[in-house]
Each structure stands twice: as C-alpha cells, then as structure tokens.
Amino acid sequence: MSSNNESIGKTLTVVVSLCLVCAIIVSFASVQLRPLQQANKTKDIQSNILSAAGISKVDDVFETFNTNIEARVVDMSTGEFVDTDPSTFDFEKSKYDAALSYSLKEKGIEDIAGIQRATTQAPVYISKKQDGSTDTIILPIQGYGLWGIMYGFLALESDGETVKSINFYKHNETPGLGGEIQNPQWTAKWEGKELPIQIVKGTAGSDEHKIDGLSGATLTSNGVEYAVDFWTGEHGFGPFLAKVREGALN
C-alpha cells in the first residue's frame, strides 16, 4: 500500500511539474510574440485600407500607408476631428471599452447592425491626390451577419456620398454563400452607387441606390446593408459625412 501511494504521489508530482513548466513556456511565448502579432494585425488592417482606397500592389505596406493615407479620429456626435492618436485606436475593441462606447439599447437607439454597443469615437482614413485634395474617404464598419460580426471598410468618393469600394477583412460567414461578401465580382457592383444603399433580391439593374443580393445568403446581405446604413447614419459617421458634403475636407 505504501509503495502504491508513493508511486501515485510521484506520478502526480511529475504531472503537475510538467503542466507548470508548459504553462510557463506558453505564457512566455505569448508575451514575446504579442508585439509581432500586433504588428501583423496592423499590417493586415493597413493593407485592407489601402485596397479600399484603390492601392493594391505595394511592396512596403507601412511605408505606402504612411505616404498615402491620413488617419484621423472623429467624434461621432459632432463629426469633428479629435486629438486621439489613430495609431493606437482599435476600432474592433473600442466598443468593449465603457469609456469609448455606449449601449444602443440603453439609449433607445434601434440596433439595426446587431452590434449592441456603438463607439463615441472612430477612426477615418483619407487618401489624397497629388495636388493635396481628397481622393477617398475610408470608413470602418461592422455589423452582424449570419454567424457573427463582420468587419470591413467602406470607401467613399470625396463627395461623401458615392461608393468607391467595400472590403470585408474579417467575418465568419459560410464559404460559397455569405462568404461571397469578399468576392470581387460582388464588391465591384458597389462602385459608383450612392448612399443610402439597399441590397435587393434578384437584379438591382441600373438603380444607383441598389445592389444585387447574394444568392442563398439573405441574412448576410441584410447584415451588410444594415451595417452600411448604421455607420453612414446619424449614430455612425453621419455627422462627419455631413461636414464632408459641406466641403470641410477642402
């Protein structure tokens, strides 16, 4: 009996020691790799912003982004630029920060995008022409699809009304169905359309405010429409876009 107890005790000691060592190694690796993970995330975001602006073939993403894109943070209620550093502003995480967001339900605001909370500030990205005038305005958007939140960028012409492109970089939609929101053939249909946008079943034809819906993915199509509608509306970038249309960026 004593021999068995000693054997079990030794086994447990080895197991616990091994688990402890593994936990230390994993924690150390996580801490060491965090800067690299953040750098890769930033690079991916910047690459998608450049793509939304029509700049797709680049050798150095960071250099091209800093050369061609002006990043600013906007107060959503006033549409004015604020002094918040855009390089440290995480649009995906900001709605989970009580100091930077609010509950739509508590404010009595219809949550058409299914995001539950909205931010009081958000980044905007502006690409310039060679003469210094505004070329493209890129807005981050998010909204609930079929399986979860879809994150993307809506690019508008300098008039603040005409769509240049739409680009989703993160989502959980079904490949071949809702996942077609990343299909270049579908996103190309957005170019030249004007806000507000309605995604319809069948063929939208030449209507400047309508887009063909995704076949077999009605809920995803609705999610995209509602996301665009919310973030270009009064509780999103609406106040900022109103100033753009008045010529504020000029």
- Give the model's pLDDT for residue 131: 86
C-alpha separations of 139 from 5, 116, 202 in Å:
65, 19, 28
Sequence-separated contacts (24+) of 178-183 with Cβ below 8 Å: 178/145, 178/146, 178/147, 178/214, 178/217, 178/219, 178/220, 180/214, 180/217, 181/145, 181/150, 181/152, 181/214, 181/220, 181/224
Q: Where are the domains of the chain?
A: 48-245
- Quick check: 239 and 78 in contact, CB under 8 A? yes
Residue 244's CB is within 10 A of a number of other CB atoms, namely 21
- Give the model's pLDDT for residue 17: 74
- Give the model's pLDDT for residue 202: 81
In angstroms, how far apart are the furthest CA atoms of the chain?
88
Residue ranges for the chain with pLDDT beneath 50: 1-2
- Give the model's pLDDT for residue 155: 98
- Give the model's pLDDT for residue 171: 96
Residue 76's CB is within 10 A of a number of other CB atoms, namely 20
- Give the model's pLDDT for residue 31: 63
Mention every residue, 6+ apart, whose C-beta is less than 8 A from residue 28: none
- Give the model's pLDDT for residue 74: 97
